[in-house]
Amino acid sequence: MATIKSTSYSIHIGEKSFDALNIFLSKNTYSNYYIICDENTFEFCLPTLLFHSPLLNEAEIIELESGEDKKTLETCLQVWGALTDTGADKKSLIINLGGGVISDLGGFVASTFKRGIDCINIPTTLLSMVDASVGGKTGVDFEGIKNHIGTTSEPKGVFVNPVFLETLSERQIKNGYAEIIKIALIADAEFWKELKKIKSVKEFSSEKIIAKAITLKNTIVKKDLHENDLRKSLNFGHNIGHALESALISQQKDILHGEAIAAGMIMESDIAQSLKRISVKEQKEITDYISSIYKNIKITKEIETQLLKYILHDKKNIGDDLCFALPKVIGAYELYCGVKIELIKKAISNY
């Protein structure tokens, strides 16, 4: 088992992370446990968790409906209500058992309930293992804008057990792999070379790949928790990717976060090349590898209009300037403020 130290908590990765969880639970005295899950993690992950961590058999289970469209304040009201009705107090522990929707929402609920109670993350999707469960960003979507309401609040521990991925679909594995590609492109050229050799979906979620991706993200987050500077690098692919995701969701299209981010990385690599950050060869290398894994997304005129509207709303912009985190070479990033909307339109059209 690998254990990675973050600012104030540890991330345990591997089969033995259940042991680490049991030690964590017995060392801390919580008044009661609340496990937040959705119907899928209730069915596929909760029995395994309870089997390995019998201390949790007394936990209250809060089961939510799955889906990004449920990552809302209305669902928070439901959870805050359930906590209140069952007598949760300052010493209660929230356990987020699920993908990024559960850890984002559960983390937000925990950080606001009675001005903040402890929570831990037990991620069950590849995306939440390598990205959402680490770094303390919590929140919900609001008026169609992704993660518009939220807090920065770190969990007390993260327990990553790849055993949970056995019931995850191939599409969901690819969804998480997009964030692994992203971290390699901005932070580690050697890791990128390693990834490029991987062709089968089975290898996307090996423990070694997961641990490497988490280590890279954690190194960045530790230096800049509140995203003043360095952490902005993690937004590569996300300016356009997030906006595309929001635009497609608003049109009731079936899109996953990682699929939108994969398209976003292709378009933002186009911008990086136009700005002479990366070379034509590097841009092609990025585009070819991502396109070999993810299907092209059809961007209609209507979607493009929505997408541009969302980009202008993005939290990452400062004033009228559009700020992008772009690779300057593969494996290193540069924050670039001042991307013109025309350049974005050109990247969309090239895509």
Ligand X SMILES: NC(=O)c1ccc[n+]([C@@H]2O[C@H](COP(=O)([O-])OP(=O)(O)OC[C@H]3O[C@@H](n4cnc5c(N)ncnc54)[C@H](O)[C@@H]3O)[C@@H](O)[C@H]2O)c1
Does 99 engage in binding with ligand X (CB under 6 A)?
A: yes
List 40, 96, 175, 179, catalytic entry: 179
Does 98 engage in binding with ligand X (CB under 6 A)?
A: yes
SS3 12: strand
**Residues 172 to 231: which contact ligand X by CB under 6 A?**
172, 175
- The C-alpha atoms of residue 216 and residue 51 are separated, in whole angstroms, by 32
Please say whether the beta carbons of 111 and 151 come within 8 A: yes
List 27, 57, 74, 115, catalytic entry: 115
Residue 238 Cβ, how far from ligand X at the closest point, in Å? 9
Query: Is residue 242 annotated as part of the catalytic site, yes or no?
Result: yes
DSSP letter at 129? Answer: I
Q: Output 108 or 113, the one with its CB closest to ligand X.
A: 108
Q: How many CB atoms lie within 10 A of CB 248?
A: 22
Residue 349 Cβ, how far from ligand X at the closest point, in Å? 26
β-pairing verdict for 145-152 and 92-98: unpaired
The stretch among 12-20, 94-102, 203-211, 223-231 that binds ligand X (CB under 6 A) is 94-102
- Where would I find the H helices in 161-256? 170-187, 189-196, 201-204, 207-223, 238-250
The stretch among 92-100, 151-159, 201-209, 324-332 that binds ligand X (CB under 6 A) is 92-100
Q: Which of 124, 246, 269, 283 binds ligand X (CB under 6 A)?
A: 124
- The C-alpha atoms of residue 347 and residue 292 are separated, in whole angstroms, by 19
Q: Output 41 or 215, the one with its CB closest to ligand X.
A: 41
Does 9 engage in binding with ligand X (CB under 6 A)?
A: no
Q: Output 104 or 282, the one with its CB closest to ligand X.
A: 104
Does 20 engage in binding with ligand X (CB under 6 A)?
A: no
CA atoms within 13 A on the CB side of 58: 9
Does 120 engage in binding with ligand X (CB under 6 A)?
A: no
Query: Is residue 257 annotated as part of the catalytic site, yes or no?
Result: yes
Does 72 engage in binding with ligand X (CB under 6 A)?
A: no
Query: Is residue 161 annotated as part of the catalytic site, yes or no?
Result: no
Q: Output 205 or 306, the one with its CB closest to ligand X.
A: 205
* CB-count exposure of residue 322 (10 Å: 0-12, 13-18, 19+): buried
List 161, 238, 239, 268, catalytic entry: 238
β-pairing verdict for 10-13 and 2-5: antiparallel
List 146, 235, 277, 282, catalytic entry: 235
Q: Which of 131, 227, 259, 268 binds ligand X (CB under 6 A)?
A: 131
**Residues 291 to 330: which contact ligand X by CB under 6 A?**
none
DSSP letters for 135-170: S-EEEEEETTEEEEEEEE---S-EEE-GGGGGGS-H
End-to-end CA distance of the chain: 41
Query: Is residue 304 annotated as part of the catalytic site, yes or no?
Result: no
Does 68 engage in binding with ligand X (CB under 6 A)?
A: yes
- The C-alpha atoms of residue 257 and residue 161 are separated, in whole angstroms, by 21
CA 105 to chain CA centroid, Å, is: 12
Q: Please count the residues of this chain forming the interface with ligand X, following the rule CB under 6 A.
A: 30
**Residues 138 to 167: which contact ligand X by CB under 6 A?**
146-147, 164, 167
Query: Is residue 231 annotated as part of the catalytic site, yes or no?
Result: yes
**Residues 25 to 44: which contact ligand X by CB under 6 A?**
38, 40-41, 44
- The C-alpha atoms of residue 192 and residue 266 are separated, in whole angstroms, by 15
Please name which of 135, 137, 134 lies closest in space to residue 146, comparing C-alpha atoms: 137
List 146, 174, 257, 277, catalytic entry: 257
DSSP letter at 321? Answer: B
Q: How many CB atoms lie within 10 A of CB 38?
A: 22
Query: Is residue 148 annotated as part of the catalytic site, yes or no?
Result: no
Query: Is residue 301 annotated as part of the catalytic site, yes or no?
Result: no
Please say whether the beta carbons of 256 and 125 come within 8 A: no
Which parts of this chain interact with ligand X (CB under 6 A)?
38, 40-41, 44-45, 66, 68, 71, 98-102, 104, 124-125, 127-128, 131-132, 135, 137, 146-147, 164, 167-168, 172, 175, 257
Q: Report, as residue numbers or ranges, the catalytic residues.
A: 115, 137, 179, 217, 227, 231, 235, 238, 242, 257
